Amino acid sequence: LYTSGTTGQSKGAVHTHAGFPLKAAFDAGFGMDVKQGDTFFWFTDMGWMMGPFLIFGGLINGAAVLLFDGAPDYPAPDRLWELVSRHRVTHLG
C-alpha cells in the first residue's frame, strides 16, 4: 500500500500478515455497523486506501460491495444517486 503523498512524496507502507484486512473489517463492522445483508459503496479507487477498505471491510463482514468506474456525473448528473437507489446501498462513503 502506498501513502497518498499529502505531506511529501508517496511512501510504501508495509502491513503485517492479515493486519490491514482485519483492521478494516473491525472498523467497518464496529464503527460503521456494516453487516450481512448491507450494500457498502465508497466512491473511491483501488489506488487509495479506501478502495481496499471497501473490499475487506465489506466482504469480511458479509456485506455486498458496489464498485464504480467512470465519471460520477455522466451520462446524467444524478448517476451516483441512481446507482445508490438501484443497488439499495445502505452505507455510502
Q: How many structural domains does the chain have?
A: 1
Q: How many CB atoms lie within 10 A of CB 29?
A: 17
Grid cell at residue 1: 500500500
- pLDDT confidence tier of residue 88, bands split at 50, 70 and 90: very high
Is 23 within a domain?
no
Residues 24-80 pLDDT 10s: 999 999 999 999 999 999 988 888 889 999 999 999 999 999 999 889 899 999 999
pLDDT at 11 exceeding the cut of 90: no
Grouping H, G, I as helix, E, B as strand and the rest as coil, residue 54 is helix
Q: What is the C-alpha to C-alpha distance for residues 91 and 84, in angstroms, rounded to an integer?
A: 9
H-run or E-run covering 65: strand 64-65
pLDDT at 89: 98
Is 14 within a domain?
no
- 41 contacts 68 by C-beta, under 8 angstroms: yes
**CATH classification of the domain holding 47:** 3.40.50.980
Is 21 within a domain?
no
Is 45 within a domain?
yes
pLDDT at 47: 80
User: Residue 61's domain spans which residues?
Assistant: 33-92
pLDDT at 26: 97
Rounded to 5°, angle at Cα 4 from 92 and 68: 35
